[in-house]
Amino acid sequence: MALIEAVCVVHEVHPDEGGDVGETAIDKRPVTGKVAVRRLGLHGDKQLDVEHHGGPDQAVYAFAGEDASWWAGELDRDVEPGLFGENLRTTGLDLSAAVIGERWRIGADEDGVVLEVTSPRVPCATFQRWMNEPHWVKRFTEHGTPGSYLRVLREGSIAAGDRIAIEHRPAHGVTIADCFPRVGAVAAQRLLDAQAAGEVALQPELRRSCEQAVARAASA
């Protein structure tokens, strides 16, 4: 059974001297009870570098507990919920196998939410500074379990322990893993075709990556 292990929002804003903004809200921590989820994310959460993070297509970030456990062994340190900047720590769900445009229903029917998988998380220099691990961006990328950004299709509230039900999975079949670290031409064309058919609304950066992948293949 797929569940929400923890719901996390920003705990404290930290200096980030190497970043464009100079501060970061990557420090997420679990909260108790129900948390409201709106179009731009969770109540009490924030993004400071809004040029590269947040917005309706990256309103919520989910990371799998199973992948966090692997990293805990690899790094020989605790990887507590929220350490990777995630809003949702999940269990029982392979996020790398999530299909772009897949929809999740979470929480009670009367006030639960519907979220849609949009794209993989791309690790950045702020993430590396926050983790303070050698070659972190390279290591995180090479392992290939980036987690998933989600858009909010139905607002409501969620809490730790809520069940995740997959209520729709697009037929194109392109997964988070297929798009990370770079989408290939075949998968890109499937996504562009699905968007043209109205089956999926691609996140703008992912759409550009798909267009570039198809153009590269055509000119090779």
Across the chain, mean pLDDT equals 96
Distance between CA atoms of residues 86 and 75, nearest Å: 18
pLDDT in tens, 103-134: 999 998 789 999 999 999 999 999 999 999 99
Identify the band that residue 98 occupies on the pLDDT scale cut at 50, 70 and 90. Answer: very high
- Write the single-letter amino acid at 154: R
Domain locations in the chain as residue ranges: 3-177
What mean pLDDT comes out for the span 37-64? Answer: 91
pLDDT in tens, 2-40: 999 999 999 999 999 888 889 999 999 999 999 999 999
Distance between CA atoms of residues 139 and 130, nearest Å: 14
pLDDT in tens, 195-209: 999 999 999 999 999
**Quick one: fold of 3-177?**
M1 Pyruvate Kinase; Domain 3 (2.40.33)
